[in-house]
Amino acid sequence: DSGVTQTPKHLITATGQRVTLRCSPRSGDLSVYWYQQSLDQGLQFLIQYYNGEERAKGNILERFSAQQFPDLHSELNLSSLELGDSALYFCASSVGQEDIQYFGAGTRLSVL
Amino acid sequence: GESVGLHLPTLSVQEGDNSIINCAYSNSASDYFIWYKQESGKGPQFIIDIRSNMDKRQGQRVTVLLNKTVKHLSLQIAATQPGDSAVYFCAENLNFGNEKLTFGTGTRLTIIP
């Protein structure tokens, strides 16, 4: 157990809908990262927050957004969902900005 | 451009033997590399990391080798066990402090009992 908690584990929704994925980092970790894992793209970095502020952005679609709250948990919001958004979404956390990233078990999103 | 790739997508090894998983990277500016293990239904699990000022680092049953001349990274697992069966990813940071990890496509390691 990495100490990173993601909910829900599975999510099934329809095209056009909006969902929110939640991540609780390890105790004491200030950085949170979001990754998308799909069969044809592998693990892709989406976005990073450090102590509530956005610090790095990857290939995150404009339909996707994230935030980190004062208690350091983070949420990834996916809107106007498309079939191609079906994937595993992982959250990772680290103590600071130059530390090993520890991953949660992921949320499996299925868009039908 | 940046890219991280694996030479072998699948690898089968007899239990007790040693295994070597390879990874090539194209960005010579990368200065930090990490190996992750992902078991079915789980998130990536940190195994070992290495900075570009090193060429070898050892952990428990694992060794990472870095050859900057040919931009090659390898993960050696000694005395493999059934629990080593998983997909292994290498990942790179463009520079230590830039937290964006670029992952390779992964190698599936299967340990044959």
pLDDT in tens, B18-38: 999 999 987 888 888 999 999
The answer to whether B23 and B106 have CB atoms below 8 angstroms apart is no
Cα separation, B91 vs B33, whole angstroms? 6
- Gap from B103 CA to chain A (nearest CA, Å): 6
pLDDT reported for residue B40: 87
Closest CA relative to residue B3, chosen from B24, B31, B32: B24
pLDDT in tens, A44-100: 999 999 999 999 898 899 999 999 999 999 999 999 999 999 999 999 999 876 678
Cα separation, A43 vs A22, whole angstroms? 18
pLDDT reported for residue A41: 66
Please tell me the least confidently modeled range out of A7-11, A26-30, B8-12, B48-52.
B8-12
Tell me whether residues B43 and A103 touch, CB distance under 8 A: yes
pLDDT reported for residue A95: 86
Closest CA relative to residue A45, chosen from A55, A57, A54, A31: A57
pLDDT reported for residue B38: 93
Sign of the CA dihedral B75, B78, B82, B83? negative
Cis upstream peptide for A8 (omega within 30°)? yes
pLDDT reported for residue B96: 53
**Which residues in chain B have Cβ-Cβ distances shorter than 8 Å to A98?**
96-97, 99
Closest CA relative to residue B83, chosen from B13, B8, B9: B13
Query: Cα B54 vs. chain centroid, distance in angstroms?
Result: 15
Cα separation, A101 vs B9, whole angstroms? 24
For B100, the closest of A56, A100, A103 (CB atoms) is: A56
Closest CA relative to residue B37, chosen from A107, A7, A87, A43: A43
Selected for mutation to probe chain B from A43, A46, A60 (highest B CB count within 10 Å) is A43
Residue ranges for chain B with pLDDT beneath 50: 1-8
Question: CA dist B17 to B14, B23, B62, Å?
Answer: 6, 20, 13
Check pLDDT > 80 for residue A108.
yes
Cα separation, B30 vs B34, whole angstroms? 11
Beta-bridged to residue B33, according to DSSP, are B50, B92
pLDDT reported for residue B27: 83
